[in-house]
Amino acid sequence: MRTSANLVSMPTDRTLVCARDSTHPEAQMGSFTAAQTRAGSPSWPAVLAFLLVSSLLAFSAIAAPTTYTGEAPVANQSESARAGALKTALAAVVIRLSGDPGILARSEVANAVAGADKLVLQYRYRRDNAIDETSAAAGSQLVLVAEFDSMAVDRMLAGFGLAGAGSGVATDATPVEKRIWLSGIQSATDYARVRGYLTRQSLVRQSWPVEARGDGILMRVVVAGDFNRWLDLVAADNVLQVNSTSPPVQGIDATLALSR
């Protein structure tokens, strides 16, 4: 069964994430050096005010604990179904961080993953559209999205002697500076969420906005180690969606969008 990227919401007592397609930067950015903004785009005074307010809001986001995100399909929102899905989600995180698909064969790791409920900070549900390729029947899949305490997970992996826990890249790796275009920024809260995530992301040394247009922001980021490796980790965290790693726009190294 394969799942599509279009998500639909459903009534629930938990937050459901709804993703949408984002416009490519070449269609909405225009020239970054142009003196005028497009009709309907915010004026530069409004943009500056937006960034100032957003920076203040970001302080609360920065204080939030860093998390590792794991996902697992789930039959329903019952406690028993959730318990199993949390273990599966944490197992995916451990495999991703260790880089070893067979890591769960180690009994001590499997036992630690069994205690996933002790490491989860929060969770939510998402419903994905799905198509059964054998029957062409359309359906849907409920997915549990869990946020695990990264410090606790790092300590757990370090206790098993797994080097590079939490990043897979040495923290003293040579930093590289890149320019990324982030779309889907519709409010100061969205901007604070982006800045908070980049501040907490273990491989980001610095990040700052350069210019804003429409619902997008051009940002510079200084990343430790390989930039493409960092994009892979970002995609796995599900806070930002990686749209392109080689966009056809001069001076832009990657385009991303805020996930919903």
- Per residue in 56-73, pLDDT (tens digit) is 444 334 434 467 889 999
Q: Cα–Cα–Cα angle for 190, 192, 197, nearest 5°? A: 100
- Per residue in 69-105, pLDDT (tens digit) is 899 999 999 999 999 999 999 999 888 888 788 889 9
Chain centroid, CA 170 distance in Å: 21
Q: Are 155 and 194 in contact (CB under 8 A)?
A: no
Say which residue, 142 or 128, is predicted with more confidence: 142
Global confidence as pTM = 0.44
Domain limits, the chain: 21-64+170-258, 67-159
Query: Which of 107-121, 156-170, 192-206 has the highest average model confidence (pLDDT)?
Result: 107-121
Report the pLDDT value the prediction gives residue 131, as an integer from 0 to 100.
55
Instruction: Please tell me whether residue 234 adopts helix, strand or coil conformation.
Output: helix
Q: Whole-number mean pLDDT of the chain?
A: 74
Structure tokens at 183: 């779309």
- What residues have CB less than 8 Å from 253, skipping those under 6 apart? 178, 179, 180, 227, 247
* % the chain with pLDDT above 90: 32
Q: Would you call 131 exposed, middle or buried from its count of C-beta atoms within 10 A (0-12, 13-18, 19+)?
A: middle
